Amino acid sequence: MAAIDMKNIVKKYGDGFPAVNDVSIDVQDGEFMILVGPSGCGKSTLLRMIVGLEDITSGDMVIGDRKVNDLAPKDRNLAMVFQNYALYPHLTVYENIAFPLRLAKTDDKTVDEKVRAASKTLELDEHLDRKPANLSGGQRQRVAMGRAIVRDADAFLFDEPLSNLDAKLRGQMRSEIARLQKKLGITTVYVTHDQTEAMTLGDRVAVLKRGILQQLATPRELYDNPGNLFVAGFIGSPPMNFLPAKVEGTSVELPFGKVEISAEKAERAAGRGLLIAGIRPESFEDASVVDASRKGSTFRAKIDVVEWLGNTAYAYIPFEAPPEVLEQLQQLERDLDGETLRTQLVVSLDGSSRVAEGDDAEIWVDTSKMHLFDPATGENLTIDTANAGRVPALEQGHDPAQEMAAESRVADEQTAAAEGS
Amino acid sequence: MKKNNLGTGAGFVLILVWCLLPVAWIISLSFKSPEETAAGSPQFLPKDATLQNYRDILDNPDFLDALRNSFGIALIATFLSVVFATLAAYAIARLEFRGKRAVLSLALAIAMFPVVALVGPLFDMWRTFGLFNTWPGLIIPYMSFTLPLAIWTLAAFFREIPWELEQAAQVDGATSWQAFRKVIVPLAAPGVFTAAILTFFFAWNEFVLAISLTSTTGSRTVPAQLSYFVGPDPFNPPYGQLATASVVVTVPIIIIVLIFQRKIVAGLTSGAVKG
Amino acid sequence: MSTSVAPAAAQEPRRPGKLGKAPATARSVSENRLGLRLVAPAVILMLLVTAWPMIQALYLSMFRYRLTAPDDKEFVGIGNYTTILGDSLFWQDTFNTVLIMVITVAVELVIGFAFAMVMHRIIFARGLMRTSILIPYGIITVVSAFAWQFTFSINNGWVNSWFEWLPWIGPDTNWFGDHWPAMFAIMVSEIWKTTPFMSLLLLAGLSQVSEDMLEAAKVDGATWWQRLFKVILPNMRAAIMVAVLFRALDAFRIFDNIFVMTRGAQDTESSSFLTYRQVIEQLQLGLGSALSVLLFLSVLLLAWLIVKLFRVDLAQARGEG
């Protein structure tokens, strides 16, 4: 059991492109840490540097109280579950799980005890004599975890372990992993591109974009106080809506009309000209089903499409955005591995709402949850820094504006940044 | 649909006839007595089947020497070639090093090399080094000419072993050598075996060097020895004897093919398309 | 001597997470060293038996040098080359070789493709089929040459009696008594022995053509021939070209069949045979070496021509294009 401390880690390849750039993350002993981001963000590279499969260009990697920069993987005492599980096809399930113990020359009795214990935990008892080729995806996944847990390793590392499973199994295995980690209380670093996994599994989540740490915080902090546009757009499903906004006094002008915000927020956003407002879909509601006592503003809009899911309904409302906002939103969409089709507002309505396609509906919005972003830097102007974990860009010595500009230059040059996964 | 099946069936029969008729023919010929072939015997099957040819050929010390030489030389060349090729193929499939492309180009060039072009200089060199008409004199060139084939086949097999397996082994606490021995070797064994079969076929079959670099039955292999069986009149060779000898040296090939057909096909085509 | 095809080689494996070449870290230095050490034995061996003798041949080719009279060794510069290039026998043999190469490869391509189609569709007796097809591949070329020589033999062969009904074949047709019939017999043996190799390569290419695509073509209204020429063959291009390249270079080196079946009689000599005869039978090391060099250059030229002409993309042949 050990803490993992990454200090100013940099990974540069031969062409000088930093796949990981000055990332510092402190994983506490026993903590479940998620590294998340779209492909090309450096999360897998970072994981492979922890385990020793990639060299570290600069910075310190400290596990427990040992600096491990130059140690071979075998000397780091870490266990890893690979994306494709990396089961040894010529060995039985039993021998696959026993493999690390055999390498450590453990005596047969201890091996047997540990393998049986692991297989019991993972419900693999009846499959011990089978070869990996004859197992289902979920079973293979469990064997890979078995190989990790027999080790008494200092930490577990997971590299997108669920990405090869179908949606249903993925949900089951997700809770399985969470339960196991709680039971063993072992330090865990988990790489994923799926924000749902990040939110549900992590004690804390590190959001990365193009090798740079964007924010390191608990899931709740990320959700309520995203450090910038990127984090705001990445965390949450359906994603946060971004609208052009102009602040005048305590009122904000949105494409659908004016809404009121608190004086404190208005002050922070004052004098900045055109901004981007971020409002999550669930901050909206069909005005006709909202309790009149709830605070908020209402506006009327024409509903384009409604998706009714039973417990909830998503309504889509198209809007026009000025070019400078549009450009920023399109860049954001690219950063998130998505494709911009059109600018539209997604609002989440109660399942009992009767709003239909083509209606001119009255929509209620809870403006206290609204954030305002600087369109040039993406910085969240209305962030509650006390509840936002760590946002490196806001720390001393960083100039967010300059950094963002440099970053988008890199982005243009490296449109197809390959990612180690 | 029915027409297609009929066509496939007819094609199947045609392929069998094409492949097996000449083999059946030499088998049939091997049972014809010397008297029958001397008198002229254009019919397919022997009039009076006899084992005389087999008795004669297995009593022929030159032929037995040639068989021994063939087996010895082919097996040693195969073994050494596969060992060296395994090392090289592993490096090519798994490691980054300078000159990798040069090695691959060299192998490609040698696979296309006209063997006859080497006969003169090798003849001269081997006489100088005392390798002319010796086993090593054939084993060394056989190794060189089978290395490209073996390297390619093996590199293709190594590439199919997921890179992650080796990394997983390292994370599990294995040294590079342990990862190679406990994970890569067992998984590559079928590939190594396939490469060995293909290499053996080459060495067993080789003719140009075998007649050029040997002079006595001390090191002459079967294909070369067969060509010396022809006797005084090249237009009236001892048919039965030659056919019988041919059958005897084809038996090992047929046995290998019967047992390992799947592996051989996989090996032959491993480089042509991604497996 | 058939050679397996592995154009794969040209493609370097992509290592996960690598962008370009890594800077010289301790790890990459030791990886570099290990790699060189592992390939060294193979490389040295390959060079020892090819590059060194080739240099030797280049040197010897500039001398008049006969082993029977080693003391008469005399520097003649390019004299051997002018002798050879001015000799009609050299051109006759080169013509024979090219002719054999073109005809056998063309015929093998057609028959091999037909075989591949049958093997691709067949659902029964796959093992029997594979075994049968591998026997000609595995059989010694000399044995194949004998089998076909006896097949065409005037006294003991079955061709004359089985095909007597053809107007130009009679019981006393002497296949080895004339240039063209002898060439025909040689080519039959060559084709029989190497078609299986060709068909296996083509089968591998054929199985890469997706069934979905063929079904889509069917739905789009393509006939069997249209599917063959517009869908199947274009998608097998790489496999076909690689098969042609390797078989052509192999056929260009034809030696065993000619040696056994005619010993070069009836003007059936090939370039390889001529070289062999000069060196081993006449011990003309100087002239023979010049022939070796020319043969080597022709193979290079041929390989270059095929690659350029058909734009064989060796990397693409692996299906990674």
pLDDT at C6 exceeding the cut of 50? no
CB contacts of B145 in chain C (<8 Å) are 49
Instruction: Tell me if B164 and A83 make a contact (CB, 8 A cut-off).
Output: yes
CB contacts of B8 in chain C (<8 Å) are 118, 121-122
CA distance A366 to A293: 12
- Neighbouring subunits of C (3+ Cβ pairs under 8 A): A, B
Nearest one of B190, B105, B189, B177 to B148, comparing CA atoms: B105
pLDDT at C250 exceeding the cut of 80? yes
B52 to B46, C83, C313: CA distances (angstroms): 13, 51, 55
Nearest one of B72, B71, B271, A400 to C200, comparing CA atoms: B271
Give the tens place of pLDDT for each residue, B131-148.
Answer: 999 999 999 999 998 998
Of C174 and A275, more confident: A275
Looking only at the bridges linking them, the beta strands covering A204-209 and A32-36 are parallel
C15 in contact with A, Cβ within 8 Å = no
Mean pLDDT (whole number) for A332-356:
84
**A362: three-class secondary structure by DSSP:** strand
> What is the Rg, in whole angstroms, of the alpha carbon atoms belonging to chain C?
24
Of A11 and C315, more confident: A11
Instruction: Tell me if A17 and C19 make a contact (CB, 8 A cut-off).
Output: yes
φ/ψ of residue C132, rounded to 5: -60, -45
Q: DSSP letter for A287, please.
A: G
- Neighbouring subunits of B (3+ Cβ pairs under 8 A): A, C
Q: Which residue has the tokens 């032959």?
A: B268
CA distance C194 to C197: 5
Of B231 and A371, more confident: A371
Three-state DSSP string of chain C: CCCCCCHHHHCCCCCCCCCCCCCCCHHHHHHHHHHHHHHHHHHHHHHHHCHHHHHHHHHHCCEEEECCEEEEEEECCCHHHHHHHCCHHHHHHHHHHHHHHHHHHHHHHHHHHHHHHHHHHCCCCHHHHHHHHHHHHHCCHHHHHHHHHHHCCCCCCCHHHHCCCCCCCCCCCCCCCCHHHHHHHHHHHHHHHHHHHHHHHHHHHHCCCCHHHHHHHHHCCCCHHHHHHHHHHHHHHHHHHHHHHHHHHHHHCCCHHHHHHCCCHHHCCCHHHHHHHHHHHCCEHHHHHHHHHHHHHHHHHHHHHHHHHHCCCCCHHHCCC
Q: What is the pLDDT of residue B2?
A: 52
Contact A149, A180 (CB under 8 A): yes
The band of A417, judged by pLDDT with boundaries at 50, 70 and 90, is very low
CA distance C30 to B86: 19
pLDDT at A137 exceeding the cut of 80? yes
Instruction: Tell me if A420 and C18 make a contact (CB, 8 A cut-off).
Output: yes
Q: What is the pLDDT of residue C25?
A: 67
Alpha helices in A132-201 (DSSP H): 137-149, 167-184, 195-201
Contact A6, A164 (CB under 8 A): no
Q: Comparing A192-196, B149-153, C270-274, which segment has the lowest mean pLDDT?
A: B149-153
**A306: three-class secondary structure by DSSP:** strand
Q: Which residue has the tokens 């910085």?
A: A379
* Cis amide prior to A238 (ω within 30 degrees): yes
Instruction: Pick B40's closest partner by Cβ from C155, C176, C253.
Output: C155
Tell me the nearest-neighbour CA distance from A83 into chain B, angstroms: 9
Tell me the nearest-neighbour CA distance from B79 into chain A, angstroms: 24
Nearest one of A264, A296, A271, A270 to A363, comparing CA atoms: A296
Instruction: Pick C18's closest partner by Cβ from A13, A57, A421.
Output: A13
The band of B4, judged by pLDDT with boundaries at 50, 70 and 90, is low
- Please name the residue of chain A whose CA is at the shortest distance from the CA of residue C16: A420
* Tokens of residue A31, six digits: 């903590």
Mean pLDDT (whole number) for B228-250:
77
**A128: three-class secondary structure by DSSP:** coil
Q: Comparing A29-43, A225-239, C161-175, which segment has the lowest mean pLDDT?
A: C161-175
Mean pLDDT (whole number) for C241-247:
85
pLDDT at C235 exceeding the cut of 90? no
Instruction: Tell me if C292 and B117 make a contact (CB, 8 A cut-off).
Output: yes
Q: Exposure string (b/e) for C23-39, b if CB count within 10 Å is 16 or more?
A: eeeeebeebbebbbebb
Q: What is the pLDDT of residue A420?
A: 40
ipTM comes to 0.86
The band of A99, judged by pLDDT with boundaries at 50, 70 and 90, is very high
Q: Domains of chain C (ranges plus CATH)?
A: 88-318 (1.10.3720.10)
Looking only at the bridges linking them, the beta strands covering A274-279 and A32-36 are unpaired
Mean pLDDT (whole number) for B66-81:
94
Average pLDDT of every residue of chain B: 85
CB contacts of A150 in chain B (<8 Å) are none
Contact B161, B237 (CB under 8 A): no
Calculate what percentage of chain A has a pLDDT beyond 90. Answer: 43
Q: What is the pLDDT of residue C16?
A: 41
A51 in contact with B, Cβ within 8 Å = yes
Alpha helices in A202-280 (DSSP H): 219-224, 229-234, 263-269
Q: What is the pLDDT of residue B60?
A: 85
Nearest one of A199, A192, A222, A189 to A214, comparing CA atoms: A222
Residue B167 CB: number of other CB atoms within 10 A? 20
Q: What is the pLDDT of residue C246?
A: 83
Q: Domains of chain A (ranges plus CATH)?
A: 4-77+154-221 (3.40.50.300), 228-383 (2.40.50.140)
Looking only at the bridges linking them, the beta strands covering A274-279 and A371-373 are antiparallel
- Please report the residues numbered 183 through 212 in chain B whose beta carbons come closer than 8 angstroms to any beta carbon of chain C: 198, 201-202, 204-208, 211-212
φ/ψ of residue A260, rounded to 5: -100, 140
B2 in contact with C, Cβ within 8 Å = no
Q: DSSP letter for A240, please.
A: P
| Own/partner long-range contacts of A130-139 (Cβ < 8 Å, ≥24 apart) | A130/A92, A130/A93, A131/A89, A131/A90, A131/A91, A131/A92, A131/A93, A132/A85, A132/A87, A132/A88, A132/A89, A132/A91, A132/A93, A132/A96, A133/A89, A135/A93, A137/A164, A137/A165, A137/A166, A137/A169, A138/A165, A138/A169, A138/A172, A138/A173
CA distance B208 to B221: 11
Q: What is the pLDDT of residue B272?
A: 47
pLDDT at B241 exceeding the cut of 70? yes
pLDDT at C320 exceeding the cut of 50? no
- Identify the burial level of A16 via C-beta atoms within 10 angstroms of its C-beta, where 0-12 means exposed, 13-18 middle and 19 or more buried: exposed
Q: What is the pLDDT of residue B230?
A: 63
Instruction: Pick B171's closest partner by Cβ from A51, A89, A90.
Output: A51
Instruction: Tell me if A82 and B164 make a contact (CB, 8 A cut-off).
Output: yes
CA distance A330 to A324: 10
DSSP structure string for B86-130 = HHHHHHHHH---TTHHHHHHHHHHHHT--THHHHHHHHHHHHHHT
Tell me the nearest-neighbour CA distance from A326 into chain C, angstroms: 32
A84 in contact with B, Cβ within 8 Å = yes
Of B156 and A76, more confident: A76
The band of A397, judged by pLDDT with boundaries at 50, 70 and 90, is low
CA distance B139 to B124: 17
C169 to C134, C153, C158, C159: CA distances (angstroms): 31, 13, 12, 9
Q: Which residue has the tokens 């954030």?
A: A371
Q: What is the pLDDT of residue A418?
A: 40
Q: Which residue has the tokens 């006896």?
A: C150
φ/ψ of residue A67, rounded to 5: -80, 120
Within chain B, strands assigned E span none
Of C294 and C221, more confident: C294
Contact C252, B92 (CB under 8 A): no
Q: What is the pLDDT of residue A104?
A: 87
The band of A168, judged by pLDDT with boundaries at 50, 70 and 90, is confident
- For A275, the enclosing helix (H) or strand (E) is strand A274-279
> What is the Rg, in whole angstroms, of the alpha carbon atoms belonging to chain A?
24
Q: Domains of chain B (ranges plus CATH)?
A: 60-269 (1.10.3720.10)
- For A156, the enclosing helix (H) or strand (E) is strand A155-159
Contact A224, A398 (CB under 8 A): no
CA distance A189 to A162: 14
* Tokens of residue B225, six digits: 């020895």
Q: What is the pLDDT of residue A340?
A: 66
The band of B270, judged by pLDDT with boundaries at 50, 70 and 90, is low
- Please report the residues numbered 16 through 75 in chain C whose beta carbons come closer than 8 angstroms to any beta carbon of chain A: 16-23, 25-28
Mean pLDDT (whole number) for A195-218:
93
Instruction: Tell me if A72 and B170 make a contact (CB, 8 A cut-off).
Output: yes
Looking only at the bridges linking them, the beta strands covering A32-36 and A187-192 are parallel
Instruction: Pick C20's closest partner by Cβ from A13, A54, A70.
Output: A13
The band of C305, judged by pLDDT with boundaries at 50, 70 and 90, is confident
pLDDT at A214 exceeding the cut of 90? yes
Instruction: Tell me if A79 and B171 make a contact (CB, 8 A cut-off).
Output: yes
Mean pLDDT (whole number) for C160-171:
79
pLDDT at A101 exceeding the cut of 60? yes
pLDDT at B29 exceeding the cut of 80? yes
